Chain A
Amino acid sequence: MSIDTSKVAASNRTAAVASKPSKVGAAAGWADERLGLAAMGKKNLRKVFPDHWSFMLGEIALWSFVVLLLSGVFLTLWFRPSMAEVTYQGSYNQLRGISMSEAYASALNISFDVRGGLLMRQMHHWAAMLFIAAMMIHLLRVFFTGAHRKPRELNWVIGSLLLLLGTLEGFTGYSLPDDLLSGTGIRAADGFIKSIPIVGTYISFFLFGGEFPGDAIIPRLYTIHVLLIPGLLLALIAAHMLLLVYHKHTQWPGPGRTENNVVGFPMLPVYAAKAGGFFFIVFGVTALMGGLMSLNPVWKFGPYDPTKVTAGSQPDWYMGWPDGALRIMPGIESHFWGSTWSWNIFLPIIVLPGLLFTVLLLLPFIEGWITGDKREHHLLQRPRNAPTRTATMVALMTIYACFWAAGGNDLIAIKLHASINQITYFLRAAVFILPIITFLVTRRICISLQRHDNEMLLHGYESGVIMRTPEGSYYEKHLPISEARAYTLTVRDRSAEQLTPATQDDTNGVPAPKGRLSGFRDKIRTLYYADDVDKPTTAELEEAHHHADHEAHELEALDGHSAEGHHFDGRHPVSEEPIRPEHH
């Protein structure tokens, strides 16, 4: 293929000639003189994003939030947050002529009589489910890779608050249509509030403007749903993003990647296209789900009526775990001085979520206190290199999963032909026992993987080539890993270095000031790093390389033959390599 050089030359000539500023350039100049965009843009348009799929999980949450805003605005145009009684006269036959709240009638109207209304309703709901799910896996990624360490602890707190607010936002939205399911949800929430000792009934009366259900709760929830929480969410998302820009992005360690730089692609042109494209993908996924998959078919539930309840009355998935805790809680109740303390409701639904959320919020601070690590970290850790942290999160996930399963105990019972009672008994124990088991197992798996990394560093990777010695014994040939890979594997701290006591006497023997908990902290820190496999020392590496060189020398005769091993290790092109080369 030859290149048409005449055209290249022509294009070069036009490019070299300075032309007068274009209209776009003039407009940009006008704006820059007034807003100072150029200076800001110059820096931020070149903001670097490292390339890794796991860094895009938060973006799923961000883009589904945008879908929520767009579809939510559409819904507000037709939804009427009113509990006034109306008689339904819309197109859904099975409910025509029934008395219902205006809120429910308008939800039916959106579903059946507004063009594209049902699609928008379902997109809004699917995007909400996706929003919280994406926040959660983003949280898991951050924690498993150690991205919550200094200086990003406060961004972790903001993210946790976003998760909490997202959950509340979801719950208030779930409650708005005033169908049987959402009304049952509000009734349950009323019960939860009333379970708070002494003040519960007062809070409930305050929220509902009297006894449940009253006629105030839906307008109030509506204001919270479309104004208060979205405002807070937007503000916190903005803070989250600003801190992201300020801290710069974390990155995986590797050659050329240090604590002081970020290696990746600039916002313009690469990441603007990638992230912008990802918005359209998330939008497309929610649109397809909204169009194809039925979600919360409010018309089947009928209007809310406190005398009715349906099997399968469950909250959306993100509220499933407190619901599960409620389902497996044994019925304990006390009476003091004429007031009832419903531990069976108060503990699982008020105390437990509060407690676990506090733990979540404090995780970076707890870890920082245990490790005493005050350094800044911009390089991520592989989950295996922090076995205790990884195991802690897996244990927390196990607790979550047990409660989650309990929230669907009735469906597990029908679909797996099991007894709902036995599932409940099992989960009552499992929620305490399984986290311990998964903690220990995960920790040992991490440590084994660390050991595996060390073996790769010292002895190389498994080539898959089986060698036979002159004596007739067999072994698998190991080949050294590349330098880049070896570098990546060795960019990590030694646990032993972290174990120096947090407080040391100074050189003159003056005892350092010790907090009351310092002894306890030293013990916890020892446990935190216990059994960690440190990366090999330089001496060990040299010794291993020397050994490998020796072996390579012995096998020199095999050079250029398949048995050399490089050819069939899956890392080299082998299309033209004969398995058994011709003898020259």
Chain B
Amino acid sequence: MRFLNRSAGRLSRHRRGPVAGLAVLLLGLLVSGGLYAALSPSSSASSTASDEQLVKEGRELFLVGCAFCHGQNGEGQTDVNGKLIGPSLVGVGAAAVDFQVGTGRMPLAAPGQQGPAKPQTYNDDEIAALAAYVASLGPGPAIPTEADYSTTGLTDEEKQAAVVRGGQIFLTNCTACHNFTGEGGAMPRGGYAPRILDTSPKHIYEAMLTGPGPMDNFSNGNLSPEEKRDVIAYIQSMRDQPGFGGFSLGALGPVSEGLFAWIVGLGVCVAFAVWIAAHTTRSTKKKESQA
């Protein structure tokens, strides 16, 4: 006990010394750095080098194709009236870039209510470079890998359960805008929730992760990665589902059904009525004899 007290007193004597602060700082840095090196995932030196290269390439592409609206450092821009031209990209993550550029929504052809999906302008390498650059601006969701959205590893029963679970999540969270068939629906002022049946699983996953445009952001705390995967499994099962009832008539619900009831159903019946009324043998004979 005395010994401890004495040694503590000896240390304590130096605590106000000129190098004490520096020593503590060095010690702290050493411990945290050592811990980080020990605990963080090991990254090989070569990939770091290529990442830097990728970011550099991405920045060059960004300055040419994106900076006009999003600013030279992706900080976003407003016009003189304070109206947003392009939002800040700090923290949107690689997933947002991969979704927006990968589905052709970016670069925007013209400012409007909503950027439509179109054939992509950049090739996959260029998109990867752009994504790496934007990801370097601030931490954000990364591009999901196939393991995130594919059900290939699961047993048949697990797959079946995933589709059922995904269907319930889909009906709760997605149909309000995208329609119960995934055909899409209208949003205010000319906006629209697009058809999602032909969207690739990766892009659906990214859309849920990043919430493009007016879409909600389904973060991992909100919908777990497994639940996102299940939703994708359900959407794919809907796409692969045969038309049990016949032609889908646009799969838009009662409006298109009513249109077909009037035009096809009633149209054919009225055409037959005309035919029946026009084919009276006796009246035709009479007309002929008159002429």
Residues of A within 8 A of B (CB): 51-57, 59-60, 93-98, 111-112, 118, 122, 126, 129-130, 133-134, 137, 180-181, 265, 270, 274, 277-278, 281-282, 285-286, 289, 291-297, 299-302, 305, 307-318, 320, 407-411, 413-414, 417-422
Given A129-B258, A294-B246, A274 contacting B192 (CB threshold 8 A): no
Q: Which residues of B contact A305 (CB under 8 A)?
A: 171-172
Task: Contact check, A314 vs B254: say whether CB atoms are below 8 A apart.
Answer: yes
Bitwise interface map of B from 164 to 202 toward A, beta carbon under 8 Å scored 1, else 0: 100110011001111111011111111011000000000
Task: Contact check, A98 vs B164: say whether CB atoms are below 8 A apart.
Answer: yes
Task: Contact check, A302 vs B167: say whether CB atoms are below 8 A apart.
Answer: yes
Q: Which residues of A contact B187 (CB under 8 A)?
A: 420
Interfacial residues of chain B within 245-270, with CB under 8 A of chain A in the complex: 245-249, 251-262, 264-266, 268-270
Q: Which residues of A contact B264 (CB under 8 A)?
A: 289, 293
Task: Contact check, B183 vs A312: say whether CB atoms are below 8 A apart.
Answer: yes
A296, B216: Cα distance in complex, Å:
28
Q: Which residues of B contact A118 (CB under 8 A)?
A: 244-245
Shortest beta-carbon contacts, A-B, top 3 = A317-B258, A311-B185, A294-B245
CB-based nearest A residue for B192? A414
Q: Which residues of B contact A313 (CB under 8 A)?
A: 253
Q: Which residues of A contact B167 (CB under 8 A)?
A: 94-95, 98, 302
Task: Contact check, A56 vs B257: say whether CB atoms are below 8 A apart.
Answer: no
Q: Which single member of A52, A274, A293, A316 contacts B245 (CB below 8 Å)?
A: A293
Task: Contact check, B261 vs A133: say whether CB atoms are below 8 A apart.
Answer: yes
Q: Which residues of A contact B171 (CB under 8 A)?
A: 180, 301-302, 305, 308, 310
Task: Contact check, B234 vs A94: say whether CB atoms are below 8 A apart.
Answer: yes
Task: Contact check, B276 vs A309: say whether CB atoms are below 8 A apart.
Answer: no
Task: Contact check, B246 vs A408: say whether CB atoms are below 8 A apart.
Answer: no
A-B contact pairs, 25 of them (CB 8 A): A53-B278, A56-B273, A93-B237, A94-B163, A94-B164, A94-B167, A94-B234, A122-B246, A126-B261, A181-B180, A274-B276, A285-B265, A293-B246, A302-B180, A311-B177, A312-B183, A312-B185, A312-B252, A312-B255, A313-B253, A317-B259, A407-B255, A409-B186, A413-B192, A414-B184
A56, B252: Cα distance in complex, Å:
32
Q: Which residues of B contact A56 (CB under 8 A)?
A: 273, 276-277
Q: Which residues of B contact A295 (CB under 8 A)?
A: 245, 249, 257
Name, among B175, B265, B270, the residue most crowded by chain A CB atoms within 10 Å (CB to CB): B265
Asked if B155 is at the interface (CB within 8 A of a chain A CB), the reply is no
Task: Report the minimal beta-carbon distance from B19 to chain A, rounded to whole angstroms.
Answer: 65
Task: Contact check, A285 vs B246: say whether CB atoms are below 8 A apart.
Answer: no
Given A60-B273, A278-B272, A312-B179, A320 contacting B186 (CB threshold 8 A): no
Q: Which single member of A57, A309, A422 contacts B273 (CB below 8 Å)?
A: A57
Task: Contact check, A294 vs B247: say whether CB atoms are below 8 A apart.
Answer: yes
Name, among B247, B273, B282, the residue most crowded by chain A CB atoms within 10 Å (CB to CB): B273
Task: Contact check, B249 vs A312: say whether CB atoms are below 8 A apart.
Answer: no
Task: Contact check, A300 vs B280: say whether CB atoms are below 8 A apart.
Answer: no
A sample of 4 more A-B contacts (CB under 8 A), given A293-B247, A295-B249, is A55-B277, A297-B244, A302-B180, A311-B184
Q: Which residues of B contact A180 (CB under 8 A)?
A: 171, 175, 180
Task: Report the minimal beta-carbon distance from A46 to chain B, rounded to whole angstroms.
Answer: 15
Asked if B82 is at the interface (CB within 8 A of a chain A CB), the reply is no
Interfacial residues of chain B within 79-100, with CB under 8 A of chain A in the complex: none
Task: Contact check, B185 vs A414: say whether CB atoms are below 8 A apart.
Answer: yes
Q: Which residues of A contact B177 (CB under 8 A)?
A: 311
Task: Contact check, A419 vs B280: say whether CB atoms are below 8 A apart.
Answer: no
